[in-house]
Structure 1
Amino acid sequence: MRKSILALLIAWLLAVGTLVSCAASDSGSSGDTATAEASPSAETSIPADRIDQVAPADARAITDPADPKATLVLFTDYQCPYCAQMDTLIQQAKNDYGDEVRILVRNYPLPKHQNAAPAARAVEAAAEQGALEEMAASVFEHQEDWKNQSDVDDLFLSYAEDLGLDTEKFQADYTSDAIKDRVARDLEDAQDLQLRGTPSLILDNEMLELDSVDYGAIQEQLDAALNK
Structure 2
Amino acid sequence: MKLSACARSLALPVIALLALNACGGAADNANSPVTPSATVSSAPASSSNQEFLSETETGVRTQDGYHLNKVTEGAPTVTLFTDLECPYCAKADPTYAQVAGELEGTMNVTVKHFPLPMHDNAVPAAQAVQAAELQGAHQKMADHIYKHQSEWKELTTSESLVEAFTGYAEELGLDQEQFGADLNRDDQFDLIQSEYEEGKTAGVTGTPQFVVDGQVVAGVESSTSVEAMVAAFKKAANL
TM-score range, shorter chain: 0.7 to 0.9
Structure 2 counterpart of 1:198, from 202, 207, 227? 207
Aligned match of 1:166 in 169, 175, 190? 175
**1:220 matched to 2:231:** yes
Does residue 123 (structure 1) correspond to residue 129 (structure 2)? The answer is yes
Do 1:24 and 1:197's aligned partners in 2 also have CA atoms closer than 8 Å?
Answer: yes
List aligned pairs for 1:101-120, cutoff 5 A.
101-120=107-126
Structure 2 counterpart of 1:72, from 78, 84, 92: 78
Query: Who is 1:48 aligned against?
Result: none
| 2:192 corresponding residue in structure 1 | 183
Question: What code does the residue aligned with 2:95 have?
Answer: L
Secondary structure of the residue aligned to 1:65 is coil
Q: What secondary structure sits across from 2:154 in the alignment?
A: coil
Shift of 1:190: 2.2
Report the Cα distance in structure 1 between the residues aligned to 2:202 and 2:168, rounded to whole angstroms.
32
**TM-score (normalizing by structure 1):** 0.73
Deviation at 1:157, TM superposition (A): 0.7
Give the number of the structure with larger relative contact order, counting CA–CA contacts within 8 Å between residues 6 or more apart: 1
Of Structure 1 and Structure 2, which has the larger fraction of its residues in helix?
1
Assess if the C-alpha contact under 8 Å between 1:24 and 1:110 holds in 2. no
Q: What do you get for the CA RMSD once the two structures are aligned?
A: 2.7
Distance 1:188 1:224, change over 3 A: closer
Superposed displacement of residue 202, structure 1? 0.7
Residues 132 and 116 (structure 1), Cα distance of their counterparts in 2 relative to 1, 3 Å cut: same
Evaluate the alpha carbon distance shift between residue 223 and residue 58 of structure 1 in structure 2; reply closer, same or farther with a 3 A threshold: closer
Alpha-carbon contact 2:64-2:77 (below 8 Å) kept: no
Matched residue type, 1:175: N
Unaligned runs of 5+ in 2: 1-18, 35-60
Q: What is the CA-CA distance between 1:145 and the residue it aligns to?
A: 0.5
> Who is 1:211 aligned against?
221
Q: 1:132 aligns with which of 138, 161, 180?
A: 138
Give the counterpart letter for 1:179 in structure 2: Q
Shift of 1:58: 6.3
Q: Does 1:146 align with 2:155?
A: no
> Any runs of at least 4 consecutive aligned residues in structure 1 with deviations exceeding 4 A, and if so which?
24-29
Q: How big is the shift at 1:156?
A: 0.6
Evaluate the alpha carbon distance shift between residue 168 and residue 58 of structure 1 in structure 2; reply closer, same or farther with a 3 A threshold: farther
Amino acid across the alignment from 1:219: V
Tell me by how many angstroms 1:69 deviates: 2.8
1:91 alignment partner in structure 2: 97
TM-aligned CA deviation for residue 204 of structure 1:
3.0
C-alpha displacement at 1:100, in angstroms?
2.4
Paired residues in the alignment total 187
Worse overlay, 160-169 or 109-118: 160-169
Secondary structure at the aligned position of 1:152 is classed as helix
Structure 1 gap segments, 5+ residues each: 1-17, 30-54
Is the contact made by 1:75 and 1:199 (CA closer than 8 Å) also made in structure 2?
yes
Q: Distance in 2 between matches of 1:65 and 1:19?
A: 33
- How far, CA to CA, are the matches of 1:224 and 1:133 in structure 2? 27
Q: TM-score, normalised by structure 2?
A: 0.70
Q: 1:58 to 1:227 in 2, by over 3 A?
A: closer
Partners of 1:199 and 1:180 lie apart in 2 by: 20
SS in 1 for 2:191: helix
Which secondary structure does the structure 2 equivalent of 1:104 belong to? Answer: strand
Cα shift at 1:24: 4.2
